Amino acid sequence: MLSLLLWSPLLGALLLAFLPGDDKRLRQIALGLSFVHVALSIWILSGFKMNEPGFQMLEQKAWLPSLGISYHLGVDGISVWLLLLNSILLPMAILASWNSVQDKVRAYHLFLFALQSMVYGVFVSLDLFMFYLFWEASLLPMYFLIGVWGGEQRFYATIKFVLYTLSGSLLMLVAMLWLGQEAHAQLGHWSFDFLEWKKLALTVDAQRWLFLAFFVAFAIKVPLFPFHTWLPDAHVQAPTAGSVILAGVLLKLGTYGMLRFNQTLFPEASLLFQKPIIILCLIGAIYGALMVLVQTDFKKMVAYSSVSHMGLCILGLFSFTLAGQQGALLTMINHGISTGALFIIVGVFYERIHTRELAQYGGAVEKMPVLGLLFLPVAMSSMGVPGTNGFVNEFLCLRGGFMVAPWIGVIASISIILGAAYMLRLTQKVMYGPLGSHLMEELTDLDLREKLLLGFLVLLIFVLGIFPNLILKVSEPSVNEGLLQMMRVAQTAAAAPAP
């Protein structure tokens, strides 16, 4: 089942490469194929045993046995939801760029499908060599999506994006090679298998360096302050679909890596670095929100809001509490929905008036009443208003912060207050008040495609806001398993005699 999901986007890309037809026909075929992946993800979720904490649907075949490399796939209560999120966002991205992408349509959809396959590979790989291959390979489709279909400064943005991510990845590769050799020393054979690496007995000093090597790679991808500077450029220059996938899924590769590998393989180091990382999270959450308040570009505002939201997400991860880590997982999913919707709204305006400067906006609700109706719940979700999905994950992440130390929760709350300030400012400026420039006179309301697209995302905002347990009850056993390990490590450290 996992192999079918993993490789089906590449098969779809091959089909698109050779099928004849005009651009409209290619878009229709691509959209139809994307729903096949949604069905496959739902099929996997339906076969998932909710009360089991370990990996399920395992597949393992020897690949390069002399190097300890195997084709090893599996899914647990954490990754199963990220697979579904990745599947849902692909048809959203295709629909969002239905009219805006007119050049090289076939190649554009090929890269979208290739990117989806690489992201699946990151979430299901239990062999770290395979994980690294998919991790690095995900750079290439996004490089071309931004570099070919992006804005005027797309080449600068793509080079910066690739160099930042690649530099961190090389550190992770060195750490992986060290762990492979350590497996040879302790287990008698080279291995890159995650389940075997969990058995390694690593000294605290070794864990510190290995933790940092993995953490920097993941922190750049998130991105966590101060590794965030590539993100606004990439978002602003990316086409709408690229921004939707970048915010919705690619940023979550970093948080997933921290939860899956940093905290599981290096628990002692995770506890040692907990407070410094939390401080970086608090700085990033508040800094990102303050940067949103001073932006004049609509899309850059949404980009910096991701820096703020992901800071709160990592705070939940490193609270080492059930509430905090469940909140972090919900943030990964809910941020993809609400921020993806915001980027689609930015794209809707840009297609009509060809500017993102907020000085040109104002009174859009008079010309676009349906968008005004759908914009409000998206803004409410980003602010964390009760009843929307954003409230649940912010509440749980804050609760996790308060459980570590009250001052952490208080400072984190400031970012949420600032978040409400910038979203209210954005809503007032764009949708209400007097009409802005003459460009606003040219606005037309949403067409059927845009109504269905944003309407579906708004529906998800309310469903997950009212019924968050749909996700939490599935992820709780897997999250609890990791936390029990952290508790055992903490108790052992507390019981050890002082040097």
> Quick check: bond before 223 cis, omega within 30?
yes
Q: Render 278-344 in DSSP notation, one character per residue.
A: HHHHHHHHHHHHHHHHT--BHHHHHHHHHHHHHHHHHHHHTTTSHHHHHHHHHHHHHHHHHHHHHHH
pLDDT digits (tens, 9 = 90+) for 262-315: 888 888 888 889 899 999 999 999 998 898 888 888 888 888 888 888 888 999
Query: What are the tens digits of pLDDT across the range 395-424?
Result: 999 999 998 889 988 999 998 899 888 888
Quick one: pLDDT band at residue 134, thresholds 50, 70, 90?
very high
CA distances from 152 to 147, 148, 149, 237 (A): 10, 10, 10, 7
User: Residue 152: its pLDDT value, please?
Assistant: 76
| pLDDT over 70 at 441, yes or no | yes
The share of the chain scoring above pLDDT 70, in percent, equals: 98
Helix (H, G, I), strand (E, B) or coil at 474: helix
Mean model confidence pLDDT for the chain:
86
Quote the pLDDT of residue 494.
52
Please name the residue ranges forming H helices in 58-104: 79-96
pLDDT of residue 443: 81
Residue 496 pLDDT grade (very low, low, confident, very high; cuts 50, 70, 90): low
Of 24-33, 65-74, 317-326, 438-447, give the lowest mean pLDDT range: 438-447
pLDDT over 90 at 364, yes or no: no
Residue environment code for 308-330, b if the CB has 16+ CB neighbours within 10 A, otherwise e: bbbbbbbbbbbbbbbbbbbbbbb
Higher model confidence: residue 227 or residue 284?
A: 284
105, 29 contact by CB (below 8 A) = no
Q: pLDDT-derived band of residue 47, with 50, 70 and 90 as boundaries?
A: confident
- Phi, psi for residue 23 in degrees, rounded to 5: -60, -40
Structure confidence at residue 457 (pLDDT)? 92
Q: What is the pLDDT of residue 363?
A: 81
Q: Are 349 and 320 in contact (CB under 8 A)?
A: no
Is 436's pLDDT higher than 70? Answer: no
Residue 108, number of CB atoms within 10 A of its CB: 25
Neighbours of 362 (CB within 10 A): 19
Mean pLDDT, range 149-173, rounded to an integer? 82
pLDDT score of 490:
62
Residues 6+ apart with CB under 8 A from 114: 9, 10, 13, 140, 141
Mean pLDDT over residues 238-264, rounded? 83
The reported pLDDT for the residue numbered 442 is 77
pLDDT bin (cut points 50, 70, 90) of residue 39 is very high
Element (H, E) at 392: helix 389-404
Instruction: Name the token pair of 76.
Output: 């647990």
456 pLDDT more than 70: yes
Under 8 Å between Cβ of 210 and 172: no
3-state secondary structure 24-49: HHHHHHHHHHHHHHHHHHHHHHHCCC
pLDDT tier for residue 495 given thresholds of 50, 70 and 90: low
Q: Let me know: does 452 contact 458? Beta carbons within 8 Å.
A: no
pLDDT band at 68 (very low <50, low <70, confident <90, very high): confident
At 498, the pLDDT band (50, 70, 90 cuts) reads very low
The DSSP call for residue 224 is P
Neighbours of 336 (CB within 10 A): 26
pLDDT tens string 18-35: 887 777 888 888 888 889
Query: In the chain, what percentage of residues exceed pLDDT 90?
Result: 17
pLDDT at position 499: 46
pLDDT band of residue 130 (cuts 50, 70, 90) is very high
Pick the more confident residue, 487 or 391. Answer: 391
On whether the CB atoms of residues 353 and 439 are closer than 8 A, the answer is yes
